[in-house]
Amino acid sequence: MSKDQELRRAAFEEVEKHQDLVEADPYRLHYHIMPPVGLLNDPNGWIQWNGTYHLFYQWMPFKTGHGAKFWGHYSSEDLVNWTHEDIALTPSEWFEKNGCYSGSAIEHNGELYAFYTGNVKDEKGNRESYQCLAVSEDGIHFDKKGPVVHLPEGYTAHFRDPKVWKQDGSYFMVVGAQTEDLKGAVALLQSEDLHEWTHVGVLAGGGEGPLGDFGYMFECPDLFNLGGEDVLVFSPQGLDSEGMKYQNVYQAGYVVGAFDSQNGRYEHRAFYELDHGFDFYAPQTTEDEHGRRILFGWMSVPDQDEQNHPTVNHHWLHNMTLPREMKLVDGRVYQTPVSELEELREDSVVERRLELDHETHEVEGVNGKAVELKLEDINIYEGWFALEIGGSARLVYSSEQRIFTMERESYVDGVVEKRQTEVASLNDLHIFIDTSSVEVFVNGGAHVFTARFYPAPNNESIQFTASDKTTLTLKKWDLRKVF
Ligand code: FRU
């Protein structure tokens, strides 16, 4: 048996062995992408190809920790119902023996080209990094072509996560990097044929420009045009928290500017976080066949007390966010759940105009484990308005401070922790609750808060409170279980 076959068989056995334990977990999600067993991290190779959406993902099937990653694979016709496909890549060759790390996919001459990082560590723990190519005729089975990019000069071996696109008759690749003087950077490479690549230089960061002093490593870069400007998404490591900003262990966000494909230069403005919640990292985008820019993020952050999640007891860990459509409005990225998610709604909808005062309200029919809520025409006359979910997560808007807050009971020690951002006035909220996750889209997606939280499994309550008078229109749907 080849190493690849051995690894595939071992992963399959792992799924079989733990299936009952995984499925018995009350915190298993109903409509978010999860690993069948083990740990999931970054979205990879995200693409719509010949009509079908393919989402690959960093997968460690053998434990709920990190290690020599596989590329797991889900496919979908509609962004709602997903099929778990055969494993796309196993870490079977010398150039990837410690992991087929993150990367991207692009269509070329009717085939799917996947670029990923081959992670290699020697006995002394020294790291090597190869940007590798694997080609597929059917989107399921990949033929490995081996390394196509070796580490260029000027970087440490923290050089990974290639994202490839075609522009102005040429191919470009951005890679997450660390310069030799230990600054986070995005490297740019160029190719005419996807096989031979030339290092153009540092595209952003590296101790220069608006990202001059901005951490020691950038992961998972992604550069694309949105609304006439060029947006660079990446995940910097090593930022100090600053007021309400940069509260998680690592960040994920974007800069907006102009990419000049002729000389490989990128002029850009300041960095903004993409999500203000507790659990969001390493997002990847693609443009689908409807011309929409759609983002998936990993609903966790590396090194952020990962082993304390209660799902570890059921042998699985982490999930993806919902797919989000991105728009650029006045230089800022807005994110909204893709409209296909309306397919998740069960028939019955509760619609009510609410008038709240200082008491806590429950609304008949408004509770549940897997629920979509829309709060519209919100009018907070004075003071604050709050919504509590499952007795363990809380959203609060203070009209005096003009601050939106997400609170949750920590899954480490139960202590309430919070994340915040400034919101000039609260107009609407679009909320997706899924047993142990919540995603909150504020004011048409101008701000997003994403988190895992762990309510007592029998607590399906949703409660509304206002310090003074608040009025709003509430809509609620139960959502279908698709996983
Ligand atoms: C981001 C990341 C990537 C790497 C992958 C390994 O979460 O660290 O930089 O390719 O995860 O699983």
Tell me the mean pLDDT in the region 193-214. 94
Rg of the Cα atoms in the chain: 22
Amino acid at residue number 187: A
Tell me the mean pLDDT in the region 390-403. 98
Confidence of residue 262 (pLDDT cuts 50, 70, 90): very high
Cα dihedral 158→298→248→303 (10° resolution):
-60
Q: Is 179 exposed, middle or buried (0-12, 13-18, 19+ CB in 10 A)?
A: buried
First to last CA, the chain: 32
Q: What is the pLDDT of residue 209?
A: 87
42 as an active site residue: the answer is yes
CB neighbours of 218 closer than 8 A, spacing ≥ 6?
Answer: 176, 177, 178, 184, 185, 186, 204, 205, 234, 235, 236, 237
Q: What is the pLDDT of residue 212?
A: 84
Confidence of residue 324 (pLDDT cuts 50, 70, 90): very high
State the number of CA atoms in the 13 A half-sphere of 141 facing the CB.
4
Tell whether the model's pLDDT for residue 125 goes beyond 90.
no
CATH 2.60.120.560 domain locations along the chain: 347-479
User: Pocket of ligand 1, candidates 96, 216, 219, 251: which has the most ligand atoms within 8 Å of its Cβ, to mutate?
Assistant: 219
User: What are the b/e assignments for 108-117, b being 16+ CB within 10 Å?
Assistant: eeeebbbbbb
Whether the Cβ atoms of residue 198 and residue 152 lie closer than 8 Å to each other: no
CATH 2.115.10.20 domain locations along the chain: 3-337
Q: CATH for 347-479, among 3.30.565.10, 2.60.40.10, 3.30.70.20, 2.60.120.560?
A: 2.60.120.560
Amino acid at residue number 88: A
CB neighbours of 5 closer than 8 A, spacing ≥ 6?
Answer: none
Tell whether the model's pLDDT for residue 347 goes beyond 90.
no
Tell whether the model's pLDDT for residue 83 goes beyond 90.
yes
Ligand 1: residues whose CB is within 6 Å? 41-42, 58, 69, 101-102, 117, 160-161, 176, 219-220, 281-282, 302
Give the number of the atom of ligand 1 that is nearest the alpha carbon of residue 102. 10
Determine which residue's CA is closest to atom 8 belonging to ligand 1: 219
Tell me the mean pLDDT in the region 238-264. 97
Q: What is the pLDDT of residue 386?
A: 97
User: Pocket of ligand 1, candidates 40, 41, 100: which has the most ligand atoms within 8 Å of its Cβ, to mutate?
Assistant: 41
User: Pocket of ligand 1, candidates 220, 235, 321: which has the most ligand atoms within 8 Å of its Cβ, to mutate?
Assistant: 220
pLDDT (tens digit, 9 = 90+) per residue, 133-163?
Answer: 999 999 999 999 999 999 999 999 999 999 9
φ and ψ at residue 421, rounded to 5 degrees: -155, 160
Tell whether the model's pLDDT for residue 123 goes beyond 90.
no
**Residue 227: C-alpha distances to residues 44, 231, 232, 257, 417 (Å):** 24, 9, 13, 11, 36
Give the number of the atom of ligand 1 that is nearest the alpha carbon of residue 219. 9
Q: CATH for 3-337, among 2.115.10.20, 3.40.1390.10, 2.160.20.70, 3.40.50.300?
A: 2.115.10.20
CB neighbours of 196 closer than 8 A, spacing ≥ 6?
Answer: 148
Confidence of residue 348 (pLDDT cuts 50, 70, 90): confident
Q: How far is the CA of 102 from the centre of ligand 1 (A)?
A: 6
Amino acid at residue number 37: V
Q: How far is the CA of 28 from the centre of ligand 1 (A)?
A: 23
Q: How far is the CA of 211 from the centre of ligand 1 (A)?
A: 21
Tell me the mean pLDDT in the region 41-48. 99
Whether the Cβ atoms of residue 43 and residue 297 lie closer than 8 Å to each other: yes
